[in-house]
Amino acid sequence: MELREWYLDISNKKIDINNKYCNYLLNFELPVGRDILGIIYQSIISEGKKSSLGSYYSPKNIVESMVEDGIQSSGKVLDPCCGTGQFLLSMAEKVDDPTRIWGVDIDEIAVRIARVNILLFYKDQDFKPNILNLNSLLLFREKGFSFIATNPPWGAKFKKDDITVLRSEYPVIGSTESFSFFINLSLNALEDNGRSLLLNSCQIGLIESFGRLFKKVFSPVIRLDGTKGWINEDPVKDNNTKIKVSTKEYSIPQKRFINKDSNIMDVFCDEYDQNIIDSIYRTPHFTLKGRAQWALGVVTGNNSHFIHSIKDIGTVRISAVCKRGILYL
């Protein structure tokens, strides 16, 4: 039925039962593998489209470990940017009832593949997959999930109008980084004590660095685990976050992140490093704040037009010491 509906959509609602292409698709025996269709689809998508969507195929071993560590025995589970269904298939291995599994993605073809993947996994059950072709940040409203696992888009390009709406929907997000919006979406969609990736007001259980995993992508891959809600009044007072970097493993008090300027998560600074920094700041000292002036260079794009050796109306002095003498901008 799923393939038939798909064929109807791409053939202008006309279908011939005896059409050789339709028969080929309906009778095609898929190769052994969990997401063969997804692998093929990812291989034919241009790098430009992957970049604009912020979409890259999730390594199977990381997907499986995240689901294994966090999935609950009951309740709904979600991947809000599911692609072809890597996380959904891992969830399916732990969930008997397919109606507990939800997925959303903006890529229509990826959603079709994810739906087929889930139907094939639960081939002996009669159901309609809860996998939707939507912009989850703007249109998905389902709540009360016990577990959310995802590889959210990062660096995705938003239209100007969409950014305006996103700022209204997610006022706590100060950047336009797509990853940040999905953090907020996950927080909103989780039930109390639900498990997900890093959330702004949750207990952070694990931060693990995998280094650079994706071809032509220079940013490292980080796994972030968190739990919404807390037992104590102060969610971070006694919570320690486990850090895994290469072969090193250590814990950092979560309150350290809260106390840092701009809440910077200095996860590569272990206890030994932090003790050195604390020792430096305990030593009597003063800073350059209020005692120095700082300036960055100005990139004019046309120095011969904007830079002058003679002071003129509207110009300001930009240097007291320069190989060319005193200059004005």
* Highest averaged pLDDT of the listed ranges 143-152, 172-181, 220-229, 308-317: 143-152
My answer on whether 179 and 318 are in the same domain is: no
Final residue belonging to a domain, choices 197, 213, 230: 197
By residue count, the chain amounts to 329
Joined together, the tokens standing for residue 234 give 């102060």
Other Cβ atoms less than 10 A from the Cβ of 294: the count is: 5
Question: Are residues 20 and 106 located together in one domain of the fold?
Answer: no
User: Where is pLDDT greater, at 130 or 8?
Assistant: 130
Tens-place pLDDT, residues 253-263: 777 777 777 66
Please name which of 180, 154, 153, 156 lies closest in space to residue 169, comparing C-alpha atoms.
Answer: 180
Q: Is residue 10 part of a domain?
A: yes
CA atoms within 13 A on the CB side of 239: 23
**Residue at 161 is within a domain:** yes
How many domains does the chain fold into? 3
Backbone torsion region of residue 193, taken as left when φ is above 0, otherwise alpha when ψ lies between -120 and 50, otherwise beta = left
193 and 328 fall within a common domain: no
Helix (H), strand (E) at residue 287:
none
Cα separation, 207 vs 80, whole angstroms: 20
Q: Going edge to edge, which strands form the sheet with 221-228?
A: 130-133, 101-105, 76-79, 145-148, 190-196, 221-228, 202-211, 240-245, 248-253
Domain at 185, CATH number: 3.40.50.150
Do 46 and 18 lie in one domain? The reply is no
Alpha-carbon span 244 to 208, nearest angstrom: 5
Non-local (6+) Cβ contacts of 123 within 8 A are: none
Domain-located, residue 189: yes
**Statement to judge: residues 6 and 53 lie in one domain:** no
Identify whether residues 113 and 63 lie together within a single domain. Answer: yes
Same domain, 183 and 100: yes
Q: Looking at the structure, tell me whether residues 1 and 76 fall in a common domain.
A: no
Mean pLDDT, to the nearest integer, of 36-43? 68
pLDDT band for 308, please (50, 70, 90 cuts). confident
147 shares a domain with 50: yes
- Interhelix angle for 108-121 vs 2-10, to 10°? 160
* Residue 227: inside a domain: no
Tell me, yes or no, whether 54 and 4 share the same domain: no
Give yes or no: residues 7 and 124 share one domain.
no
> Domain for residue 260, yes or no?
no
One domain, residues 3 and 123: no
Q: Please indicate, yes or no, if residue 210 is contained in any of the structural domains.
A: no
| Domain boundaries, position 170 | 42-197
Cα(216)–Cα(214) distance, integer angstroms = 6
In a domain, 218, yes or no: no
Task: Give the single-character DSSP code of 308.
Answer: B
Strand partners, 251: 242
Tell me, yes or no, whether 37 lies in a domain. no
pLDDT tens string 121-153: 998 998 999 999 999 998 999 999 999 988 887
Q: Where among 182, 197, 212 does a domain terminate?
A: 197
> In terms of DSSP H, where are the helices of the chain?
2-10, 20-27, 36-44, 47-53, 60-70, 86-92, 108-121, 136-139, 160-169, 178-189, 254-259, 271-282, 303-306
Is the pLDDT score of 200 beyond 80? no
